[in-house]
Amino acid sequence: MKITITKTEQEFDQVAAWRIISQLLARPAAVIGLSTGQTTIGMHRVVSEIHARYPFDVSQVTFFNVDELTNLPRSYAGSCYTMIYRQLVGPLGVPEENFIMPPTLSDDFVAEAALFERRLAERGGADLQMLGIGMNGHIGINQPGTPFGSDTWVSPMDPDFEARVRRETQVPDDVVLGGLTRGIKNIMQTRKIVLVAKGAHKAEIVEKAILGPVTMDIPASVIQLHPECEVLLDAAAASPDVVKAAGPSVAKVAKR
């Protein structure tokens, strides 16, 4: 596992953006998994800005998000489809058929989860997953306690996140909210993972995930077992022990 620490948040966004662009340039038909949240907004903006200035071919790339909210309209500004479309797919002009996402509303989410995985498999599986980490160590929407062998499924939301979504959408309490997420097994089958985190509020959980024991109590800890994984942090998200573990990579941040 490689640990890369950038000096600033702005440098983090640039480096993270180049991880996506480099994959696109190396394999124009790449299948790339994304994540939503405050950590990834900046990197998506930088990818779009670079593409606007120096256009590169995106006609064959496949984008998807690691998860999607369920039982909410896709038009909700907080839906993963809407965020990724506005931040990256739309600005880059990626063909709609190359943006693979499960629906937010369905009578059979079990079937939708299987279809989501089948569509990715038909394109050769995921080459790269840009993966966020939650404050409780979740990846995708796989909450603590999720078995490492889990397949794509509908997981409960983090209670704090669910409360926020309900405030924003006014969804009645009797509507069960959740998230269709790639299972931990599916995430780990990705050829390359880049776990991204920035901000001092993420430092403690990042340290537990990458330096602590591999445990279902912290789902992100499973990435320690991945053969091709990079942990990309800004300086604020890196505790002293993580900086020590990173070694020379702290001083040698490659943007490409």
74-103 residue pLDDT tens: 999 999 999 999 999 999 999 999 999 999
Q: 130: which residues sit within 8 A by CB, 6+ positions away?
A: 16, 19, 20, 32, 33, 34, 35, 40, 43, 194, 196
Is the pLDDT at 159 greater than 70? The verdict is: yes
pLDDT band at 161 (very low <50, low <70, confident <90, very high): confident
pLDDT for the residue numbered 145? 97
What would the pLDDT profile of 59-71 be if each residue is shown by its tens digit?
Answer: 999 999 999 999 9
pLDDT for the residue numbered 256? 36
Task: Name the residue with higher pLDDT: 255 or 232.
Answer: 232
pLDDT for the residue numbered 158? 85
What would the pLDDT profile of 90-145 be if each residue is shown by its tens digit?
Answer: 999 999 999 999 999 999 999 999 999 999 999 999 999 999 999 999 999 999 99
- In whole angstroms, how far apart are CA 6 and each of 11, 37, 188, 250? 6, 19, 25, 7
Pick the range with the lowest mean pLDDT from 10-14, 54-58, 161-165, 190-194.
161-165
What would the pLDDT profile of 167-205 be if each residue is shown by its tens digit?
Answer: 988 888 889 999 999 999 999 999 999 999 999 999 999
Q: 204: which residues sit within 8 A by CB, 6+ positions away?
A: 239
Report phi then psi at 68, rounded to 5.
Answer: -155, 145
Considering the domain 2-250, what is its CATH architecture?
A: 3-Layer(aba) Sandwich (3.40)
pLDDT for the residue numbered 172? 86
Supply the pTM of this predicted model: 0.94
8 Å CB contact between 73 and 104: yes
| Mean pLDDT, the chain, whole residue set | 95
What average pLDDT does range 38-67 have in this prediction?
A: 98
As a whole number of angstroms, the distance between CA 194 and CA 132 comes to 9
pLDDT for the residue numbered 250? 56
What would the pLDDT profile of 2-27 be if each residue is shown by its tens digit?
Answer: 999 999 999 999 999 999 999 999 99
- In whole angstroms, how far apart are CA 178 and each of 12, 54, 76, 121, 154? 30, 39, 14, 24, 6
Is the pLDDT at 254 greater than 70? The verdict is: no
